[in-house]
Amino acid sequence: MKKEDFFLIIHKHLIVSCQALDHEPLHGSMMMAKMALAAKEGGAVAIRCNSAADCSAIKEQTGLPVVALLKRDYPDSEIFITATLKEVKELLAIEPDVIALDATVRKRPNGETLEELVSYIHKKSNALVMADIATLMDADYAIRCGVDMVSTTLSGYTTDSPKLDGPDFELVEQLCKVANVPVIAEGRISTPEQARKMLELGAWSIVVGSAITRPQLITRTFTKGIFEV
């Protein structure tokens, strides 16, 4: 898919993150494909998903553009979202529309660099690169490395970003003023009102995950609201 076509599809629309790790009840490609289909029926225009297997199943089930990533822990780095060339190659095998990766300034495993990964993706495929960032510094670094878009996925999950209960509206607003690539709002967006506010602040698109696709967490908000004073 051409860059302009993907950006046109997602502009001012909703991307739904359909992910379940191996310890979660809905883990499995078939489960995630059905979840993605439900998201499509609800109006999602693209799906963010974890692992080559899940992404392939979701592409087949929904026909929607996929933002692919692969989470894997490494002992020598805090980065775990598409951290190395190994993960990039695994994802490229299923020809995703976009590859998302941790684009923070933190040290990558194996001494690899963000610039190297971005360059490899662009040279070896037509996939776009979504940079998951936590701060303005991360975003500046990622853009200089050649990414196609930045997403606020990691705000609140790195030591140098603010710990907030809700979305990082301030970061999105600041990014929309200075970034020369589309800004995707992601992270702790749990209501339609919060999503709408992100668009009003200038976000190109929105990613919502847990509030839609993790029923154990959705249920917990009800049980806490009912039983905790």
According to DSSP, the residues that pair with 149 across neighbouring strands are: 130
- pLDDT at residue 228 in the model: 78
Residue 125 reports pLDDT greater than 80: yes
Helix (H), strand (E), coil (C) string for the chain: CCHHHHHHHHCCCEEEEECCCCCCCCCCHHHHHHHHHHHHHCCCCEEEEECHHHHHHHHHHHCCCEEEECECCECCECCCECCCHHHHHHHHCCCCCEEEEECCCCCCHHHCCHHHHHHHHHHHCCCEEEEECCCHHHHHHHHHCCCCEEECCCCCCCCCCCCCCCCCHHHHHHHHHHCCCCEEEECCCCCHHHHHHHHHCCCCEEEECHHHHCHHHHHHHHHHHHHCC
Tell me how far apart the alpha carbons of residues 226 and 229 are, in angstroms, rounded to a whole number.
8
Q: What is the largest CA-CA distance in the chain?
A: 55
Burial of 62 (0-12, 13-18, 19+ CB in 10 A): buried
Label residue 14 by pLDDT band (50, 70, 90): very high
Residue 171 CA from chain centroid, whole number: 16
Candidates 112, 109, 155; CA nearest to 133 is: 155
Amino acid present at 107: K
For the record, the structure tokens of 213 come out as 């696709």
- pLDDT at residue 229 in the model: 59
What's the chain's average pLDDT?
Answer: 97
Burial of 174 (0-12, 13-18, 19+ CB in 10 A): middle
**Mean pLDDT of the 160-187 span:** 97
In tens, the pLDDT along 59-82 reads 999 999 999 999 999 999 999 999
- pLDDT at residue 58 in the model: 98
In tens, the pLDDT along 36-51 reads 999 999 999 999 999 9
Task: Confirm if 91 and 69 have CB atoms less than 8 A apart.
Answer: yes
